[in-house]
Structure 1
Amino acid sequence: MADGLNEYREARVGELLSDFRTLQYYIAAAPVSPPDMDDYYTEGWAALRQCALDGQHILNCAADVTVPRTTGGPEEQAKAELKQVHLDAYARRHEGQKIYLRQAAAQRWVEWREQILMGGRPHSGNTSQLRGCDQQLRAELATITDEAIYSELQASDMSMGRWTAEDPSVRAVQRWLRARKP
């Protein structure tokens, strides 16, 4: 039996894909190479390069188009297909947000490092400050969890009045992501 919600499902998929596209622009615009190549292997620059690779991967990985055949007619088949596309779009947006937040943390690290170095190079007098900067980056990256991102995106969607009745669970998103790990 058709439930009459396919219009909402279509709109939700459109919102998710639009959000994902916006995130991809931000991810692609982030720097990946330091001005001084001596800094290439430092933690923040390594994180920025990994984010760029992760962003490219989530953009390029194939959608799961295996949708089971339903017996309820064209409306039910459309419902099943929309639910599959919904999960795909939702998980991509989730991963894009995670990458974006990791990039933002790494870009703050770059700014902090530049403030510490004041145009100079690392030396024994600023080693402990630079180590603290690295520790701060690691602490920030540790807070960027699937659960935190899921909650943040869910709250944002609800505050915008978006239809979230059939959004996948955080576990479903994690399963989707694990299935696409390189």
Structure 2
Amino acid sequence: MADGLNEYRTARVAELLSEFRTLQYYIAAAPCNPPDMDDYYTEGWAALRQCAIDGQHILNCGADVTVPRTTGGPEEQAKAELKQVHLDAYARRHEGQKIYLRQAAAQRWIEWREQILMGGRPNSDNEAQLRSCDQQLRAELASITDEAIYSELQASDFALGRWTDEDPSLRAVQRWVRSRRR
């Protein structure tokens, strides 16, 4: 029997896709290559290139369009399809947010590194500071976990008064992501 919530489901999917699209713009706009190619293999620039690759992958991976056939009529079939699209959009937004946060950490690393180098090049005088900068980047990247992102996005949705009654669980999001890495 139809539950009358398909309008809410449709609006939720639209919100999620809109946020994902915005994240994709930010991801695509981030630099991937350093001005000085001697810095190409440094940790921050390598992280930015990986983010660009991940961003392109999450954009290009196909949606799961295998929706089971329901017996409740067109409304129930629409509900099943919307739930499938909801998971897809929710997981893409989640992954986009993770990529965006990783890019932001790498861009902070670039700023810190530039402050340390002050227009110069790495040398024995700034080696310890640069190593500390790299360690800070590693710590920031390690703190960008699925659990933290899921909680952050959930809190944001709640604060914005969005309909979240049928948002997928973190486990469902993680399963979706794993299925796209094959």
TM-score normalized by the length of structure 1: 1.00
Paired residues for 1:5-44 under 5 Å: 5-44=5-44
Report deviation, 1:39: 0.2
The corresponding residue for 1:178 is 178
The runs of at least 4 consecutive aligned structure 1 residues that moved more than 2 Å come to none
CA distance in 2, matches of 1:147, 1:8: 25
Alpha-carbon distance, 1:159 to partner: 0.4
Cα distance in 2, alignment partners of residues 171 and 146 from structure 1: 10
Q: Which residue number corresponds to residue 122 of structure 2?
A: 122
Distance apart, 1:170 and its partner CA: 0.3
2:165 partner letter? A
1:167 partnered with 2:167: yes
SS of residue paired to 2:180 = coil
Match of 2:143 in 1: 143
Alpha-carbon distance between aligned partners in 1 of 2:75 and 2:180, rounded to the nearest angstrom: 29
1:24: how far off? Answer: 0.2
Aligned equivalents of 2:173, 2:67: Cα separation in 1: 17
Write out aligned runs for 1:65-84 (5 A).
65-84=65-84
Query: Unpaired runs of 5+ in structure 1?
Result: none
CA–CA separation in structure 1 for the residues paired with 2:75 and 2:35? 55
Give TM-score scaled by structure 2 length.
1.00
Tell me the equivalent position of 1:85. 85
Q: Deviations over 1:75-112 (max 9, x none)?
A: 00000000000000000000000000000000000000
Find the aligned partners of 2:87 and 2:30 in 1 and give their Cα distance: 27
Give the Cα–Cα distance (whole angstroms) in 1 for the partners of residues 8 and 106 of structure 2: 37
CA distance in 2, matches of 1:175, 1:102: 21
Residue in 1 that maps onto 2:132: 132
Unpaired stretches in structure 2, ≥5 consecutive residues:
none
Offset at residue 151 of structure 1 (A): 0.2
Give distance in 2, aligned partners of 1:146 and 1:4: 32
Q: For residue 130 of structure 1, give the secondary structure of its aligned residue in structure 2.
A: helix
**RMSD (Å), alpha carbons:** 0.4
What do residues 10-45 of structure 1 show as CA deviations (whole Å, max 9, x unaligned)? 000000000000000000000000010000000000
Q: Secondary structure at the match of 2:63?
A: coil
Q: Which amino acid aligns with 1:145?
A: T
